[in-house]
Structure 1
Amino acid sequence: MSDNVIIFDTTLRDGEQSPGCSMTTPEKLKIAEALVELGVDVIEAGFPIASPGDFEAVRAVAQRFGDRARICGLARCRREDIERAGEALRGVAKSRIHVFLATSPIHRQFKLKMAEQEIVKAAVEHVKLARSLCEDVEFSPEDAARTELDFLVEVVEKAIEAGATTVNIPDTVGYATPTHYFKVISHLKQHVSNINRAIISTHCHNDLGLAVANSLAAVEAGARQIECTINGLGERAGNAALEEIVMALKTRHDYYGVETNIHTPKLCGLSRLVSSTTGMLVQRNKAIVGQNAFAHEAGIHQDGVLKERTTYEIMRAEDVGFVGANLVLGKHSGRHAIRSRVIELGYQLPDAQLQQVYDDFIALADKKKNVYDADIVALIDNRMNVTVDRWKLIRFHIAAGTGTIPTATVELRDESAAATSAGSTTGDVSVATYRDAAIGDGPVDAVCKAMERIVGISAELKDYQVRAVSGGEDAQGEASVEIVYQGRRYHGKAVSTDVIEASALAYLKALNKAISEQPTSTPAHGV
């Protein structure tokens, strides 16, 4: 049995199915690049038949990274699904088609309305079709954890015979327990006659909070591929978290005795990237990548760690790329010091982007006395996630207080119009500047409404969160918003020492995303 566990990441496919976590193709490419740098073996880039956008995303990821990681497209047991996946992956050196069909009694009766032998026949037929288009085929009997073992053995055996090189055993609804799941995997190893011709994979959901535990139990039973997502993203309660699985296997190598190809110091950085892109904040006490993962509040713990780190820490923070709040720099620090610290924090930035981070740092250092590692990371993340937005916040003014109606005056610039004006004979970019005012329930609400009046759309705010990036009264505030416009969700995130400014920038970023998918329109108001 191999001592290497294949890490199959499905953040871009199953993770994106988290409500509100849809990603654009450029965002998927950025995350895919980070997954490749992390050392992920297989990247499930999407469900090509789902939409033209999903097809293009899978194709773009496959074309860009298909020589460095295996790129996978999902397909139901339908000819059109499989052919669409094959088209998206055509010509890619390392590709995989992942075919699935439900097998549990409840799915057979109520969803598929198919008899057992009809399912076996369909599985064989479509695995063969996939194999004719791609050398590497994965088959998943959906809801395998609730499927009768004898029938599961039959389906898996026939799928392997038809050409499946990986058989994935999904706990689709998070029903299994570690002992139960161990027995399922063990039963397949013992009773599927050709099991040695395929890799057994796991795909566990977290409805009972057992996704990681179930996945690890499957490794004990002989599974050698784990399907997981960054930060545990996924439908309902999510999937098994990649960072937890990888660090469990690494930290307890003495017990599991297996390896992965993951470069673990990149885990926290990728966690932040996915959180920033999707708008799904990571809980403070989240294992491995949470803000409190390496914090010690109790005096006994602090005393023990100071004497010997391993008394209360089973992992080193640097092994996962964790960045705390260490004081590093002040406003007199030079560009070389910033460059060195950025590299120490695990980032490789081109000169132009490094200059932008340095400029942001100087501006921040003028506003707050102490600049921490966490502040530097926030500035880097802010610059790494910069997109070409149509509307830019120039300035705002608010009037608010007890007994006062909150009022905001906002000035925005239409960058697309400014670019056109800059190229004209007059070169007057002021024609692209618009101002308006609004009242609201509070200063943030007033600013957001004023911006909506200028850009000409009105969205519904679904989620709004603000947190301190580091400690102290002058800490940067990180604002995260989620809006709904015309039935679609959009996220925005920004940082500033002024939480109202951070909120305004985050809201405007979300509005820009919504506008980018709409036909060009004329602003409702402007001067």
Structure 2
Amino acid sequence: MSSFDHSTFNHRKYKPFAPVAIENRTWPDQVITKAPIWSSVDLRDGNQALVEPMTVEQKKQFFALLVDVGFKEIEVGFPAASQLDFDFVRWLIEEDQVPDDVYIQVLTQARPELIARTYESLKGAKKAIVHVYNSTSTTQREQVFRMDMEGIKQIAVNGAKCVKEHAEKYPETEWVFQYSPESFTGTEIDYAVEVVDAVTEVWQPTPERKIIINLPATVEVSTPNRYADQIEYFCRHVKKRDCMIVSLHTHNDRGCGVAAAELGVMAGADRIEGTLLGNGERTGNMDIVTMAMNIYSQGVDPELALGDMDRIISVVQACTLLQVHPRHPYAGELVFTAFSGSHQDAIKKCLANQTDNKPWDVAYLPIDPRDVGRSYQEVIRVNSQSGKGGVAYTLEQEYGLALPRWLQVEFSPIIQQYAEQDGGVVDAESMKSLFETHFMTGTTPYKLGKYDHSKDEVDTIHAELIGAGSKINISGKGNGALSAFAEALSKHFNVRVDIIQYQEHALTVGSDSQAIAYVQTNIDGDRFNGVAIDNDIVSASIQALIATVNQKSTQSKQEAVA
């Protein structure tokens, strides 16, 4: 029997969330028919949640991705709280990196010295959103600030006045004011309305010049329907509703961040703050990719360019150092993969009936994988459930090759095809030979010569490629040796090399041990998998990356001949 002391697992210490009393709620009958205004907070909220915050170079790379995806509002930092954030905001402005139709957003507490520093960072900006906040929740008032309701409201009012006064000093910038009653979901709803009304009175918005009122679920404390009730109640009772954009900023403590945001939009919200792929404090922020693709799957234009999902994954992983879960909605490596034989059969039959002029209607696939840059070849996979199990186990037991899951998925159809042609029996030696033929291609037409790897603020690679009897010198920079080498290859071959997956492990133990590296890339829209073995893990990684470029080169030659 278990030795766990069940008396320590005591549900009685928690009290249920007190719902808002709302009559004749309308949100359950609403349908989302257009995209909300999207605001990315990856570079601020997402960044502060990282074990290792982004470097300036990583922030630059991430900002470029957000612009390309189509965000018109991007929260770029908390410049009054961090010199790194301040310098990044200055770089964006001084180097003219912000498109004319994009608002950069910055966060500040409602304190005069921080607000002044915030405006200093924004000097010369074309368009900017100044986001000021203070916590209004019962818990924060009583236990953290030890202030009454009037005192907390006065903090918000004073902050709003300070924001307005500083904006008047910089008339060349198009300013938008944003206020958040932090911990909105833990605030008495009528009091939240009262505080917002007081801030609105200071800012005096109009229907033509609106303010943003952000209602955050700073910590998710209820079911999504209760949050929607709060949003509908707020929208009904707040003054000057037609002069404000109601924004939501949900977190995922209960695993319902996306659901809460969707129901909040149905309840009257206009705008959503979140992060690509859901990175954020604790269990994460609202996942914009998931919510945007959810409404896309319902025939609504999300107004974000999410078709190149591999690039999004590559940049997010490189900048956050967080891996995307293989079962992540829409972006995960396995979300369009069927292992069950019955599922495979249903998908094949539906795909055979699918035509371009018919609405998408395929069993087990809520969207067309091609819409996010995936291919039909990645939909049907084979494992033990369909009679071809034991491949990964055999390679690991016989040769020490611990294939990552994503490479197992790529290798299974190769084994299946071989088995069908060769009578159905594939021994260990044949498996290894097939594996090397398809993935360990790091010598033809190009192989690695000498290389030099140095690290300062960023990694720099100078390398020699040997091919067809000649030597080619390439160089690149990036966040890590592999990223730098990918840039070097991209520049030389005039392609875009995105690293999607990477894994390594030791093959042997001791001073002469060898390491193996597995790399998956997307090169100009096509996926390739490379593997290499070397005494040095950096060398193995680089050679595995070369293997994917060699595969791309071979594919291009074959297509040219065809």
TM-score per shorter chain, which class?
0.5 to 0.7
Q: CA deviation at 1:446?
A: 7.4
For residue 316 of structure 1, what is the amino acid of its counterpart?
D
Instruction: Name the residue aligned to 2:371.
Output: 319
Q: CA deviation at 1:500?
A: 6.6
Q: Aligned to 1:265, what secondary structure does the other structure show?
A: coil
Task: Report the 3-state secondary structure (helix = DSSP H, G, I; strand = E; otherwise coil) of the residue aligned with 1:169.
Answer: strand
How high is the TM-score relative to the length of structure 2? 0.60
Equivalent residues in 2 for 1:43-442, closer than 5 Å: 43-62=74-93, 63-134=96-167, 135-163=175-203, 165-253=211-299, 259-309=301-351, 310-322=362-374, 368-370=436-438, 388-389=458-459
Q: Aligned-residue CA RMSD in angstroms?
A: 3.6
Verify the 8 A CA contact 2:261 2:272 in the aligned structure 1: yes
Q: 1:288 to 1:21 in 2, by over 3 A?
A: farther
Contact 1:104-1:142 at 8 Å conserved across structures: yes
Query: Does the CA contact (< 8 Å) of 2:50 and 2:320 recur in 1?
Result: no
Shift of 1:504: 7.2
- The aligned residue for residue 408 of structure 1 is none
Q: Partners of 2:309 and 2:162 in 1: how far apart? A: 37
Matched, 1:30 2:76: no
Write the distance in 1 (CA, Å) between the matches of 2:111 and 2:508.
49
1:59 to partner: Cα distance:
2.5
| Residue identity in the other structure for 2:184 | A
Deviation at 1:69, TM superposition (A): 1.5
Q: Distance in 2 between matches of 1:469 and 1:444?
A: 23
Aligned mates of 1:275, 1:250 — CA distance in 2: 24
The alpha-carbon deviation at position 68 of structure 1 amounts to 3.8
Q: Aligned equivalents of 1:104 and 1:204: distance in 2?
A: 16
In the TM superposition, residue 161 of structure 1 has moved relative to its aligned partner by 2.3
The one-letter amino acid paired with 1:43 is I
Look up the match of 2:532.
Answer: 497
Give the secondary-structure state (helix, strand or coil) at the position aligned to 1:294: coil
Pick the structure with greater CA Rg. Answer: 2
Contact (CA 8 Å) 1:244, 1:287: kept in 2 or not?
yes
**TM-score after normalising by structure 1:** 0.64
Deviations 1:367-424, CA, capped at 9 Å, x for gaps = 953369xxxxxxxxxxxxx985368899xxxxxxxxxxxxxxxxxxxx9xxxxxxxxx
The 1:111/1:313 distance shift into structure 2, 3 A limit, reads same
The answer to whether the 8 A contact 2:336-2:378 is kept is no
1:436-476 per-position Cα deviation (integer Å, ceiling 9, x unaligned):
xxxxx977997899xxxxxxxxxxxxxxx986639xxxx99
For 2:71, what is the secondary structure of its paired residue?
coil
The answer to whether the 8 A contact 2:112-2:159 is kept is yes
C-alpha contact (below 8 Å) 2:72/2:102 kept by paired residues: yes
- Change in Cα spacing, 1:368 to 1:157, as seen in structure 2 (3 Å) is farther
2: CA distance between counterparts of 1:445 and 1:17? Answer: 38
The residue matched to 2:459 in structure 1 has which SS? coil
Partner Cα distance (2:228, 2:75) in 1: 25
Alpha-carbon distance between aligned partners in 2 of 1:69 and 1:448, rounded to the nearest angstrom: 54
CA–CA distance in structure 1, aligned partners of residues 315 and 74 of structure 2: 16
1:8 counterpart SS class: strand
Q: Is the 8 A contact 1:294 1:317 kept in 2?
A: yes
- Give 1:239 deviation, angstroms: 0.3
Contact 1:201 1:225 (C-alpha < 8 Å) held by counterparts: yes
List alignment gaps of at least 5 residues for structure 1.
Answer: 328-366, 373-385, 395-414, 416-440, 450-464, 478-494, 508-527
Give the superposition deviation at 1:280.
0.3
Q: After superposition, what is the alpha-carbon deviation per residue over 1:236-271, rounded to whole angstroms, capped at 9, x for unaligned?
A: 111011100101122124xxxx65421121344212
- Distance of 1:311 and 1:9 partners within structure 2: 33
- The alpha-carbon distance between structure 1 residues 304 and 324, as it changes in their structure 2 partners (threshold 3 A), is closer
For 1:439-450, list aligned pairs within 5 A.
none
Which position in structure 2 is the counterpart of 1:523?
Answer: none
CA contact (8 A) 1:143 1:172 kept: yes
Residue equivalent to 1:469: 520
Amino acid at match of 1:226: I
CA deviations 1:206-265 (Å, max 9, x no partner) are 111011110001010011111110111111111011100101122124xxxx65421121
d(CA) in 2 for partners of 1:194, 1:267:
40
Deviation at 1:323, TM superposition (A): 6.3
Cα deviation for residue 78 of structure 1 reads 0.8
What's the CA shift string for 1:191-215, capped at 9, x where partnerless?
1121221111111111110111100
| One-letter code aligned to 1:50 | A
Q: State the alpha-carbon separation in 2 of the partners of residues 296 and 191 from structure 1.
A: 49
Q: Secondary structure at the match of 1:14?
A: helix
For residue 281 of structure 2, give the secondary structure of its aligned residue in structure 1: coil
Q: Could you tell me whether the CA contact under 8 Å between 2:532 and 2:541 is conserved in 1? A: no
Q: Report the CA distance shift for 1:275/1:500 in structure 2 as closer, same or farther (over 3 A).
A: farther
1:237 aligned partner, one-letter code: T
Tell me if structure 2 keeps the 8 A contact 1:101–1:141.
yes
In structure 2, what residue type is equivalent to 1:321?
Answer: G
Match of 1:337 in 2: none
Name which of structure 1's ranges 7-16 and 260-269 shifts more when overlaid on structure 2: 260-269
- SS at structure 2 position matched to 1:136: strand
**Judging changes above 3 Å, is the alpha-carbon distance between structure 1 residues 191 and 448 closer, same or farther for their aligned structure 2 residues?**
farther
Distance 1:291 1:239 in 2: 21
* 1:36–1:68 Cα contact (<8 Å) kept: no
User: In the alignment, which of 42, 49, 73 is matched to residue 11 of structure 1?
Assistant: 42
1:6-36 C-alpha deviation (Å, 9 max, x unpaired): 1110011111122324111121111111101
Kindly tell me: are residues 467 and 191 of structure 1, through their superposed partners in 2, closer, same or farther at Cα, counting changes over 3 Å?
farther
Q: Is the 8 A contact 1:160 1:197 kept in 2?
A: no
Q: Structure 1 residues 391, 307: CA separation in 2 closer, same or farther (over 3 Å shift)?
A: closer
How many residues matched? 373
